[in-house]
């Protein structure tokens, strides 16, 4: 079941005949990321990380903002300022951890290679926000196989990292604000208008990079007011993305020791950083002499752990939990029921 980013989260249209695409990827399938294969790795990354060893790279930024300076610099700075004011983790014994953002204008150091800096920052980030606007896409129609395009280079590497589970991608789909008509949401884009060749240092064609980026679940943004979208992005960052990467945070003194949670499906303890697909084993049906799902004692279903009850898929402990609520006054459990079922 795909996780949505927000109420108006949507897929941008890579298909010129449609306004939505297939269910998108929503994050790393496992926090224990795998190394990238040299064949699929962007050439520039091969130079920085010859062994593709991104799985052991420390995370120094929560968010990396990728944008076209000529068209989207104002929005990028607005997103950066708003995100930096948000808290990604609170603790009673530690100072609140605020969102750390890489924006080239603020983070690049004079005297060091520009490309090395932003590529290293990309590898060291948890979440990538590629800003996609009609104006930025129009500029890509003039791409040249002889001219380096740093935005395409960032997006190409982002796709490599996302495929290997090293970053999560949420495209920022920028609408327009015509003076007469008011805000208009970003609409579909005909990717056949883009070139089928690669620009220098990328491993995908211009068309493939943009089409693949459109497959990720994105957030529609009104450039005049980003406040509600900031809340949407930070909510997903703090509850879903950051917990998967916090064990790789560069400055471990900033964060409290990782908490051990109790799984409601299997009853075992787990840490978010170790909560990979298949970590939890449980029965899917009700026990009545024998389990209805498999009729054996050994758990027959595997999934991720969950610290709260839910209705995303059946598990035997859910039915036991519901029975306790029906048979007695369990105020807290009833409260959990209405908060977690959807």
Query: How confident is the model over 252-281, as pLDDT tens digits?
Result: 888 878 788 999 999 999 988 788 889 999
Residue 151 CA from chain centroid, whole number: 19
- The mean pLDDT value for 55-75 works out to 90
- pTM listed for this prediction: 0.72
Q: Left (φ > 0), alpha (ψ -120 to 50) or beta: where does 284 sit?
A: alpha
Q: In which region does residue 68 sit, left (phi positive, over 0), alpha (psi from -120 to 50) or beta (all else)?
A: beta
Percent of the chain with pLDDT over 70: 74
Query: Using CA atoms, how far apart are residues 174 and 144, in angstroms rounded to an integer?
Result: 25
The structure tokens listed for 265 are: 């499906």
CB atoms inside a 10 Å sphere around CB 214: 21
- Cα separation, 331 vs 114, in Å, equals 57
Residues 131-153 have pLDDT tens digits of 999 999 999 999 999 999 999 99
Alpha-carbon separation of residue 66 from 121, 172, 309, 325, 342 (angstroms): 11, 10, 37, 48, 34
Distance of alpha carbon 50 from alpha carbon 180, whole angstroms: 53
15 pLDDT band (50/70/90 cuts)?
Answer: very low
Residue 104's pLDDT band (cuts 50, 70, 90): confident
């Amino acid at each position: 079941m795909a996780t949505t980013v927000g109420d108006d989260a949507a897929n941008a249209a890579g298909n010129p005949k449609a306004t939505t695409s297939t269910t998108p990827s929503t994050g790393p399938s496992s926090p224990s990321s795998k190394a990238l294969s040299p064949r699929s790795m962007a050439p520039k990354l091969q130079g920085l990380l010859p062994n593709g060893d991104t799985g052991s790279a420390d995370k120094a930024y929560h968010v990396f903002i990728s944008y076209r300076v000529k068209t989207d610099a104002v929005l990028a700075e607005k997103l950066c300022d708003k995100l930096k004011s948000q808290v990604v983790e609170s603790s009673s014994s530690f100072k609140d951890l605020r969102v750390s953002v890489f924006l080239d204008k603020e983070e690049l150091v004079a005297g060091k290679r520009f490309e090395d800096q932003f590529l290293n920052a990309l590898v060291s980030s948890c979440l990538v926000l590629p800003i996609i606007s009609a104006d930025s896409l129009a500029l890509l129609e003039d791409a040249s196989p002889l001219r380096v395009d740093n935005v395409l280079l960032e997006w190409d590497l982002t796709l490599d990292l996302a495929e290997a589970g090293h970053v999560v991608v949420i495209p920022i789909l920028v609408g327009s604000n015509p003076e007469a008509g008011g805000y208009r949401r970003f609409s579909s884009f005909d990717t056949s208008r883009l070139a089928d060749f690669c620009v220098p240092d990328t491993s995908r064609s211009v068309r493939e990079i943009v089409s693949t980026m459109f497959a990720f679940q994105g957030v529609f943004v009104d450039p005049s007011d980003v406040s509600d979208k900031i809340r949407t992005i930070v909510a997903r960052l703090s509850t879903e993305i950051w917990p998967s990467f916090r064990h790789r945070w560069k400055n471990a003194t900033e964060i409290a020791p990782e908490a051990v949670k109790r799984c409601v499906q299997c009853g075992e303890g787990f840490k978010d950083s170790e909560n990979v697909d298949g970590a939890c084993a449980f029965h899917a049906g009700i026990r009545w002499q024998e389990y209805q799902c498999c009729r054996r004692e050994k758990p027959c279903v595997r999934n991720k752990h969950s610290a709260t009850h839910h209705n995303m898929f059946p598990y035997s402990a859910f039915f036991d939990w519901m029975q306790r609520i029906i048979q007695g006054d369990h105020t807290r459990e009833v409260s959990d029921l209405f908060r977690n079922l959807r």
